[in-house]
């Protein structure tokens, strides 16, 4: 993920990356690609895992998700331009 590439995360921020990976693994899809993480998704995850999320951590999770969705859209567009099948493409007639 190009937008998520960068320097090593400081140890104090690693939990945000792990939270994002856990939330992202459970995200839904709308048939055209991944859905954004909603406040409802994050709140439910927080409650179910008994994880307290501070406002600045919530903003960081939303920013990570935004970067992920932009990267996903750009990668999908590049695959279509190159004639490669997109991850969400299905054979015709199915």
CA angle 26, 62, 71 (to 5 degrees): 75
Decide if 66 is inside a domain. yes
Domain that holds residue 59: 54-82
Decide if 43 is inside a domain. no
Residue ranges of the chain whose pLDDT lies below 50: 90-94
pLDDT of residue 94: 38
Decide if 63 is inside a domain. yes
- Count of domains forming the chain: 1
Decide if 20 is inside a domain. no
Decide if 58 is inside a domain. yes
pTM here is 0.77
Task: Please say whether the beta carbons of 86 and 80 come within 8 A.
Answer: yes
Decide if 60 is inside a domain. yes
Decide if 92 is inside a domain. no
Match 């190009």 to its residue by tokens.
Answer: 2
């Amino acid at each position: 993920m190009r937008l998520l590439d960068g320097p090593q995360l400081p140890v104090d921020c690693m939990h945000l990356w792990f939270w994002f990976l856990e939330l992202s693994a459970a995200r839904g899809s709308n048939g055209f690609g991944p859905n954004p993480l909603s406040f409802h998704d994050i709140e439910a995850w927080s409650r179910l895992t008994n994880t307290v999320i501070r406002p600045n951590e919530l903003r960081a999770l939303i920013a990570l998700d935004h970067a992920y969705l932009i990267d996903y859209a750009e990668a999908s567009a590049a695959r279509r331009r190159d004639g490669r099948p997109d991850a969400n493409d299905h054979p015709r007639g199915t």
